Amino acid sequence: MDNYPFSCPIQVRWRDLDALGHVNNATFASYLETARTEAWIELFPDRGVLEIPFFVKRIEIDYKRPIGLEEKVRVWLRVGELRGASLTFEYIVEVGGEVAAEAVTRLACVDDTGRPTRMDPDLRTTLETLQVG
């Protein structure tokens, strides 16, 4: 997908499915989380995954088509808005060249106590590499 600099494959599992054999709507949020985590690992190989200084404040998912068990899924990700203490990730969930969902998450930057804080300048600079335009 053009303009999405990071992507990650997702393995659909049996437990992801609802009674109709489609990936459950709530499972899409887990797929977004997997993509964010993989992006973090790639961008910050020296920081542990448990050191991610963000929490999700908001999530929006627009579903375009169902996903079945044997389909090949890829989540594309980019950084949208980057503020002093928060950012948005924008996603496309793709199946075989088709958009299955579009999503946005807003994340807040927090300190060790969980209180909102301004983003570290080095962290911000690295995240900017996932911005387009």
The three-class DSSP label of residue 128 is helix
Provide the phi-psi class of 3: left if phi over 0, else alpha when psi is between -120 and 50, else beta: left
Q: Are 67 and 12 in contact (CB under 8 A)?
A: yes
| pLDDT tens by residue, the chain, 133 residues | 789 999 999 999 999 999 999 999 999 999 999 999 999 999 998 887 777 789 999 999 999 999 999 999 999 999 999 999 999 999 999 999 999 999 999 999 998 888 999 999 999 999 999 999 7
Domains of the chain: 6-130 (3.10.129.10)
Q: Which two tokens stand for residue 20?
A: 């109709």
Q: What are phi and psi of 64, to 5 degrees?
A: -110, -35
CA–CA gap between residue 18 and residue 49 (Å, rounded): 29
- The pTM score is 0.94
